[in-house]
Structure 1
């Protein structure tokens, strides 16, 4: 290894090349992901729903259940004043 001002130049070069290679792989994977989404869209699937499913599947069951419970609670809380106003009218 060649030391330049106390820094191992070959080692830095190796690390940079590895990171660049990983970035190329990520780019290729993202292109593949984009193609799969386009395929789903072409078959008539709603991409927002598919993305939501993917997001939910990343959560564990307890986290997902808690989120759904809070969502139901908040929606119920929002609906309550409307229901009370309808009864008053």
Structure 2
């Protein structure tokens, strides 16, 4: 890398970019909280919605395998 000024400028730009992204991330997190607050105010269960979102991210096979294991464990514990 060139002189110290070039490295310092590049570093400053990288830090500022990361800071802007952190602000955007905070804004998005706030928007997501608002969506869950709205869902709750309409009578939906936020925990269930989060679980559905988690399931939708998984591959179908992974979800089915996870459910099968849960069922086996629950049966073993007399929960089913």
Same fold (TM over 0.5): yes
The CA distance in 2 between the partners of 1:2 and 1:35, in whole Å, is 47
In structure 2, what is the Cα distance between the partners aligned to 1:2 and 1:22?
A: 28
Q: Gaps (5+ residues) in structure 1?
A: 81-89
Matched, 1:17 2:16: yes
Q: CA RMSD, aligned part only?
A: 1.8
Alpha-carbon offset, residue 79 of structure 1? 1.1
Corresponding residue pairs, total = 78
Give the Cα separation in 1 of the matches to 2:23 and 2:3: 27
Structure 1 stretches of 4+ moved >6 Å: none
Structure-1-length-normalised TM-score: 0.81
- The structure carrying a bigger strand percent of its residues is 1
Give the 3 Å change call, closer, same or farther, for CA 63–19 of structure 1 in structure 2.
Answer: same
Which residue number in structure 2 is paired with residue 86 of structure 1?
Answer: none
